[in-house]
Structure 1
Amino acid sequence: MNELPRGYWCECWTQNLSKDQQPTLHASFDAYSAAQADRWIAIALRTISPALDTSASEQAWEWLYEGRIDTRRALLRAEPCSVTVDQADTRITWTVRPVLFLPLAHRQGSELPACAYDFKPQQTD
């Protein structure tokens, strides 16, 4: 049996702290290496840093200059990581978790399990 490909599941969440709201998922990304996973966060932080207030911008650049290497090391040890920046009443959190990627069945290339034929597309008027 082939070994399942390892990778990282990355997400970006925000939460309005003043309204005590539940976090909201804004983006997700499947990375196939630790470098690709932390680069996703780095690109996001560099992109939004000009729009952040001074404190949040300092949090972002502190991770970019100092925390990023710790994140990469943790990911290489298959440990989940997160990076958080607080902008006014909003908390932005990027999470990265090690995962195994399961292959998807190809409709033309192989026999699908019987349950695949139970799905009936919804008819629209």
Structure 2
Amino acid sequence: MKPPQRGYWCECWTEDRAEEWPPALLASFDAYSSAQADRWVAVTLRTISPALDADASDEAWEWLYEGRIETRRALLRSEPCTVSVTHASTRITWTIRPVLFLPLMQRQGAELPPCARSFKHHRTE
């Protein structure tokens, strides 16, 4: 069995401050290096920046030019990071957290545990 692999769990959330809706998860991504994790945020920010209002676009480019290196350094120290921009009343937040990815069990050619046979499928109609 393979050992756990270090990586980063990345998420993108939105929250509309004008509405009373709960935050919504837009996307998630499993990265296996700090470069891959911060690149996910950077590519997304570059992609959406033309559609953002001027202040949000400035926030995005400020992180791309100034904040990105600090994010990468924090990730290399295994510290979680957050990047946010606010467009009108919507706050968009990317989170990156260090994690251990556990390997999935290979079931082919292996005997399943006895509890697997006690599972009964229930039909829903």
TM-score (norm 2): 0.90
**Contact 2:3 2:102 (C-alpha < 8 Å) held by counterparts:** no
Going from structure 1 to structure 2, the CA distance change for 1:104 and 1:3 (only over 3 Å counts) comes to closer
Looking at structure 2, the residues matched to 83 and 115 of structure 1 have their Cα atoms a distance apart, in angstroms, of: 44
Letter in 2 for 1:37: A
The answer as to 2:26 corresponding to 1:26 is: yes
Partner deviation per Cα, 1:15-71 (whole Å, 9 max, x = no partner): 010113221101000000000000000000000000000000000000000000000
After superposition, the Cα gap between the structure-2 partners of 1:116 and 1:88, relative to the gap in structure 1 and judged at 3 Å, is farther
In structure 1, give the amino acid aligned to 2:50: P
Are 2:58 and 1:58 equivalent residues in the alignment? yes
Number of the residue aligned with 1:110: 110
TM-score normalised by L of structure 1: 0.90
* Structure 1 stretches lacking a partner, 5+ long: none
Which deviates more, 82-91 or 2-11? 2-11
* Mapping of residues 51-90 of structure 1, within 5 Å: 51-90=51-90
Q: Quickly say closer, same or farther: Cα 1:116–1:36, change in 2 above 3 A.
A: farther
Count of paired positions: 125
Shift of 1:120: 4.1
Task: State the identity as a percent.
Answer: 68
RMSD between aligned residues: 1.8
Structure 2: tracts of 5 or more residues without a match: none
Distance 1:66 1:16 in 2: 26
What CA distance in whole angstroms lies between the structure 1 residues aligned with 2:68 and 2:117? 46
Distance 1:67 1:116 in 2: 49
C-alpha displacement of 1:124: 6.5
